[in-house]
Structure 1
Amino acid sequence: MNHQFSKSTIKYAWLPFFVLLTIMLAACGGAETAANPVTQAINTLTEEAEPETTILEESDPVAETAVVPAAPEIVEETAVTSPPITPSTDLFAQEQQFVSIYENVNPAVVNIAIGSGQGSGFLIDGNGHIVTNNHVVENGGQIVVNFEDGRQLPAIIVGTDISSDLAVIQVDANEIQDITPVQLADSDALKVGQIVIAIGSPFGLQNSMTTGIISALDRLFPGAVGPNGVPFQIPNIIQTDAAINPGNSGGPLLNLNGQVIGVNTAIESPVRGSSGIGYAVPANIVSNIVPQIIANGRVDTPWLGISGGLISEDAALALGLPADQTGILINEAIAGGPAATAGLRGGNSPDVIIGVDGVEIVEFDDLLGYLVQQTIVGQTIQLQIMRDGQPQTVNVTLAARPATS
């Protein structure tokens, strides 16, 4: 049973104390109660008080007789609460940028179903050409391209390049005139730490978007096996921690301008799931290779005809070079290849390549990247080398890379 107290009744809460005090004084032989000032004070307070009563519920048997002292007046305190968390305008701007990129680019990103497999790709022009990976289409079979709006179009293979793991397929251009193709960025301008976005069909989940950063640049990725049994390398590979999984192959890796900086190609994972290490073929290789595929159905990749690696400190000292010498030590100039024809040496007295056409060569990737992105078959380049401790320049005419296996 709830008893409520009126506001004024609290004033009488201390009266029993004074009554008890008066009785105690009288019992001890004090003045008479009528003349006791404490008793007078109690009487005065009693006369001035206007006690209030609270009517209890009708079902309560005490309601007809009980007069309940009122509760003390409680001053409500203003509750102290934390202000709502408002994300920074920068965060909102980034969020909106992601939304805009997805809405603008996603219509040009496709799911490619071929045989029992599938992958991703993106529309590169208004003629129905779609870029993807060679390994997505290399096994052949009927190709069906699925667009984000539900359109399903048959496609043919225009051409492939096993060396860069790129391929071009084509759908009827009349069926996609309302779709804006993607734009390619300059991948040479990329920096580690830049935010990137991947769109594709991981595990067949079409039109999925993930985000991350560029984790590293200028990685070498093994490609097809060359005539000497050594795999060719794909240079300038972009490493990203954006979630890339089986099915993302061939899809675009984008910058915050919605431009393609690379083609998602592979992941490094023991369980075929994203472990934060994904690889993409850079856009500048795409811009060099894809036009050749469209024009010729194939690519003649420039070939120097050497195998080698970074020069070590011990090798530099043995060759009479400074211990901190940089460059590519030629292990072998393949017989009949452009380098051997030009007189470049490997073996016991190897040449060290330190530049090409005036561009400094520090990593093997520097040399491969220049050849793949900046040269064509039949072009003559100038190699700056160190031979017998002295700098020299050698002219080399590039040939087409031999058939791969």
Structure 2
Amino acid sequence: MTRPLATRLARPCAAALCAAALLVGCTSGSDEPSSSATGRSSPASTAASAAPVASDRLQSEYQSVVKNVLPSVVQITTDSDLGSGVVYDDRGHIVTNAHVVGDAKKFTVTLVTGGNPLEAELVSSYPAEDLAVIKLSAPPKDLRPAKFADSASVEVGQIVLAMGNPLGLSGSVTQGIVSAVGRTVSEGAEGGGTGATIANMVQTSAAINPGNSGGALVNLDSKVIGIPTLAATDPQMGAGAAPGIGFAIPASTVTKIADQIIKDGKVTDSGRAALGITARTVVGDDLQPAGVAVVSVSAGGAAAKAGLKAGDVITRVDSTAISTMQSLTEALAAHQPGDKVKVTFERNGSSQTAEATLGSI
């Protein structure tokens, strides 16, 4: 279980440097004639001439990706906030973070390609995954939808470019790598955050800065692999971000949620596991979190079918100790609807267990 080390930035992602190391040859010190005597290139001169070629090729790839994708990244402005978004289709749908749109219903959208600001309205927001879709009122004919990657193809070590509007610097591009995949991360609910716990996130060395949330994390195939959303914080650094640890919602989650919102106006199948309860954190005699008290049970839900009742205090899911609502949410995020879990709970002073078949949010 991943610790909730990340916190939501009000207007996040920029990037950390990814240094490309070039192989440099050296002479062996043997008695073989030098290149000037034989007319052949020495290993050192061959490597030296190859280095600029490799560097130029990588630079060309970067520039090609920027040319292909940056026109699909927009700036979203509300009355009180600023963030980024990604053009989803040619009908004017734009995907972004739920915390970027906040409570707003209308937005001003600025394209990287220029022109007058465009008006947009909220289609729907889904805070449980910190995603939202807005739609341009009058989409221009030359709108450039982004292409989204298959999340299963994302691998640690891949070079990625982060595109967005950090600190209001429109159309900024920076670089990093995929540092890890499959992270479960919780964002804070303070300062306008959704408090979401999101599974399977992509960890990147690209730094996340205010204004980059909702933008694009892109591979060298010019495909979006994720939506930058969170920056990690180190409690020992106070409120400061931990450098080089950022998180993006994976493309598979983005497309699944966006497709449903565009088709139905809401999320009809979250793919998120749930017990079917409302609950709250309780504290023990030492005033420390001691479990999650069930406030109510949804009729026909997973908890009801397993025999849980209002007043029960959940203390464990399988082998994972549960002390807070956040720890319960993280434990459930690791499962899929239909999974069977063993729930340990306290009732009338005694510990009991029940097997629950998880439902869906």
- CA displacement at 1:304 relative to structure 2: 2.9
The two structures have a TM-score, normalised by structure 1, of 0.58
Matched-pair contact (CA < 8 Å) for 1:164–1:223: no
Residues 1:154 and 2:119 aligned together: yes
Within a 5 Å distance, the mapping from 1:6-405 to structure 2 comes to: 85-86=48-49, 87-140=51-104, 142-151=106-115, 152-172=117-137, 174-175=139-140, 177-223=141-187, 232-269=196-233, 275-300=243-268, 301=270, 302=272, 303-305=274-276, 335-337=296-298, 338-343=301-306, 352=318, 368=333, 371=336, 381-383=338-340, 395-398=357-360, 400=361
Runs of 5+ consecutive residues of structure 2 not aligned to the other structure: 1-35, 37-43, 190-194, 279-290, 321-327, 345-353
Matched-pair contact (CA < 8 Å) for 2:106–2:122: no
Q: Give distance in 2, aligned partners of 1:253 and 1:237.
A: 12
- CA displacement at 1:214 relative to structure 2: 1.4
Quote the sequence identity (%): 35
More strand by share: 2
Secondary structure of 1:115 counterpart? coil
Q: Give distance in 1, aligned partners of 2:292 and 2:113.
A: 53
The two structures have a TM-score, normalised by structure 2, of 0.64
- CA displacement at 1:154 relative to structure 2: 0.9
Matched-pair contact (CA < 8 Å) for 1:344–1:351: no
Q: Give distance in 2, aligned partners of 1:194 and 1:350.
A: 37
Secondary structure of 1:342 counterpart? helix
Q: Give distance in 2, aligned partners of 1:107 and 1:384.
A: 46
Matched-pair contact (CA < 8 Å) for 2:118–2:138: no
- CA displacement at 1:306 relative to structure 2: 7.2
Q: Give distance in 1, aligned partners of 2:112 and 2:317.
A: 53
Secondary structure of 1:286 counterpart? helix
- CA displacement at 1:263 relative to structure 2: 0.6
- CA displacement at 1:127 relative to structure 2: 0.9
Change (3 A) 1:212 1:394: same
Matched-pair contact (CA < 8 Å) for 1:245–1:273: no
Residue type matched to 1:121 in 2? G
Greater length-normalized contact order (CA 8 Å, ≥ 6 residues apart):
2
Q: Give distance in 2, aligned partners of 1:370 and 1:284.
A: 16
- CA displacement at 1:368 relative to structure 2: 2.0
User: Alpha-carbon deviations, 1:307-352, whole Å to 9, x = none?
Assistant: 9xxxxxxxxxxxxxxxxxxxxxx97777514231221778699662
Secondary structure of 2:70 counterpart? helix
Count of residues paired in the alignment:
274
Residue type matched to 2:71 in 1? P
Change (3 A) 1:353 1:125: farther
Secondary structure of 1:135 counterpart? helix
Which shows bigger deviation, 239-248 or 141-150?
141-150
Aligned to 1:21: none
